């Protein structure tokens, strides 16, 4: 699903502190279909994961990505094969976007042997070397030095790859993030920092814990360019990601894109989300939903019909249901797995 930079006809570099970036090119019909399918796959997968959690099939912590789908799908549409992805514990969407198999992801959520980590990682700790997905990290902010280190390896090898390092508005206040910014800029590492600002770090609104809330400017002390992006519009996301990735790949060093997004569900499954008004969530769903925006375009442009879109949804549901079926019937890991994979 990699797209060449040439497709972004009207993309222009945006200077630091330029405010929200609305510079993007329209999607072609194919691109809108791709975006719809990928986002819908994540949405349906997460809804199903929520349901399996409710049935007690998924345990512990389970952080859903519903509402934020345009971010990872838009970035994925701008990156090349081989570019690495690393993120926090809200990671199911990123895994599906990198092309990881829904069965393997769902079976890891249920702690079964067919999961990506053979049931030993769970929701927050999944990896795929094949898809260059480096986790899945449960410690807030810890993935930022790691993503910077992936970029270090890229530069060391001169392989032209870029490390896409995702973190949230909450992690943006972590000390190790700024240690990483400093070295990334100092050594001109090919890393793109994607800050998924979904407005709340668990139950705390960003403005209550952040002295400045324009997270795109958090790299200013290190002269790292950044821009704020409408993270609910997959076109704006892809355009910004193309700019950022191009900057990093060309040897200019790191770039920050703050994706202004929103999660519809609580921080995790056990979060009643009392810290925000129901109306706020509903307004987002009604007016800004990333999937609805694409659906509407496909219909308005005469590129598709309700029937066709319903069929796509049905097909995706079938895939997701199959993954749930697999993840429910797959056996738990063999007890001998307790002792494996501690050392190589």
Residues 135-174 that bind other proteins (CB under 8 A): 135-140, 142, 144-154, 156-157, 163
**Residue from 324, 156, 163 nearest 244 by CA:** 163
- Please pick, from the candidates 182, 204, 213, 319, the single residue that binds other proteins as defined by CB under 8 A: 182
Q: Interface with other proteins includes 325 (CB under 8 A)? A: no
**Least distance (Å) from other proteins to the CB of residue 155?**
9
d(CA 321, CA 47) in angstroms, rounded, equals 11
Tell me the C-alpha distance between 224 and 220, whole Å. 6
Q: Which two tokens stand for residue 40?
A: 């819908």
> CA dist 158 to 172, 174, 247, 255, Å?
29, 29, 15, 18
Select 145 or 236, whichever has its Cβ closest to other proteins: 145
- How many other C-beta atoms can be found within 10 angstroms of the C-beta atom of residue 4? 9
Number of residues that bind other proteins (CB under 8 A): 85
179 lies in the binding site for other proteins (CB under 8 A)? yes
Q: Which is closer to other proteins, CB of 9 or CB of 314?
A: 314
Interface stretch with other proteins, choices 28-36, 81-89, 219-227, 230-238 (CB under 8 A): 81-89
| CB closer to other proteins, 36 vs 242 | 36
Candidate list 285, 299, 303, 319; residue touching other proteins; CB under 8 A: 285
Given CA atoms 240, 235, 155, 94 in this order, what sign does their dihedral have?
A: positive
Residue (163 or 234) nearer to other proteins, CB: 163
CB 102 within 8 A of CB 84: no
| 98 near other proteins (CB under 8 A) | no
203-208's contacts with Cβ under 8 Å and 24+ in sequence apart are 203/267, 203/271, 203/273, 203/274, 203/275, 204/170, 204/275, 205/275, 205/276, 206/169, 206/170
Task: CB nearer to other proteins: give 211 or 344.
Answer: 344
Site for other proteins contains 308 (CB under 8 A):
no
317 and 44 Cβ atoms separated by less than 8 Å = yes
Choice between 107 and 229, CB closer to other proteins = 107
Give the footprint of other proteins on residues 204-263 (CB under 8 A).
Answer: none
Q: What's the helix, strand, coil split of the chain in %, to 5?
A: 45, 10, 45
Nearer to other proteins, 93 or 122 (CB): 122
By CB under 8 A, what part of segment 23-52 binds other proteins? Answer: 44, 47-48, 50-51
| Contact with other proteins (CB under 8 A) among 74, 93, 121, 190 | 121
The torsion defined by the Cα of 152, 155, 156 and 157, in degrees rounded to 10, comes to 130
- Out of 2, 5, 17, 55, the residue judged to bind other proteins by CB under 8 A: 55
Q: Applying CB under 8 A, which of residues 8, 86, 107, 256 lies at the interface with other proteins?
A: 86
> Taking the complex as a whole, how short is the minimal distance between the CB of residue 312 and other proteins, in angstroms?
14
Residue 338 engages other proteins in binding (rule: CB under 8 A): yes
Among 21, 68, 98, 128, binds other proteins (CB under 8 A): 128
Task: Say if CB 58 and CB 49 are below 8 A apart.
Answer: yes
Whichever of 3 and 57 has its CB closer to other proteins, that residue is 57
Instruction: Identify which range of 2-10, 12-20, 178-186, 252-260 contacts other proteins by CB under 8 A.
Output: 178-186
For residue 321, give both structure tokens.
């249901």
Q: Tokens representing 270?
A: 């056990």
Question: CA 219 to CA 222: how far, in whole Å?
Answer: 5
- Is residue 111 a contact residue for other proteins (CB under 8 A)? yes
* Dihedral sign computed on CA atoms, order 243, 191, 215, 205: positive
Between 286 and 300, CB nearer to other proteins? 286
Q: For residue 86, give the 3-state DSSP assignment.
A: strand
């Amino acid at each position: 699903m990699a797209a060449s930079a040439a497709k972004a006809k009207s993309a222009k570099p945006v200077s630091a502190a330029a405010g929200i970036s609305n510079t993007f090119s329209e999607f072609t019909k194919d691109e809108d279909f791709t975006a719809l399918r990928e986002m819908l796959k994540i949405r349906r997968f997460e809804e199903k994961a929520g349901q399996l959690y409710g049935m007690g099939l998924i345990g512990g912590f389970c952080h859903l990505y519903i509402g934020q789908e345009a971010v990872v799908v838009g970035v994925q549409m701008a990156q090349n094969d081989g570019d690495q992805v690393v993120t926090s514990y809200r990671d199911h969407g990123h895994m599906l976007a990198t092309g990881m198999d829904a069965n393997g992801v769902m079976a890891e959520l249920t702690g079964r042997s067919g999961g990506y980590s053979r049931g030993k990682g769970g929701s927050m700790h999944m990896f795929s070397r094949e898809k260059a997905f480096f986790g899945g990290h449960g410690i807030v902010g810890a993935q930022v030095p790691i993503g910077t280190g992936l970029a270090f390896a890229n530069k060391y090898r001169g392989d032209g790859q870029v490390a896409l390092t995702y973190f949230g508005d909450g992690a943006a206040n972590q000390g190790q993030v700024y240690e990483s910014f400093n070295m990334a800029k100092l050594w001109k590492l090919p890393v793109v920092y994607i800050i998924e600002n979904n407005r709340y770090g668990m139950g705390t609104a960003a403005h209550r814990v952040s002295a400045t809330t324009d997270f795109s400017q958090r790299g200013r002390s290190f002269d790292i360019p950044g821009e704020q992006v409408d993270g609910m519009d997959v076109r704006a996301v892809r355009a910004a990601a193309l700019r950022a990735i191009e900057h990093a790949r060309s040897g200019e060093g790191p770039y920050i894109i703050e994706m202004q997004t929103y999660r519809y569900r609580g921080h995790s499954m056990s979060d009643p989300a009392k810290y925000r008004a129901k109306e706020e969530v509903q307004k987002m769903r009604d007016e800004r939903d990333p999937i609805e925006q694409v659906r509407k375009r496909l219909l308005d442009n005469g590129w598709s019909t309700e029937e066709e879109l319903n069929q796509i949804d049905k097909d995706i549901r079938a895939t997701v249901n199959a993954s749930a079926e697999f993840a429910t019937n797959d056996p738990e890991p063999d007890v001998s797995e307790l002792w494996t994979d501690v050392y190589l």
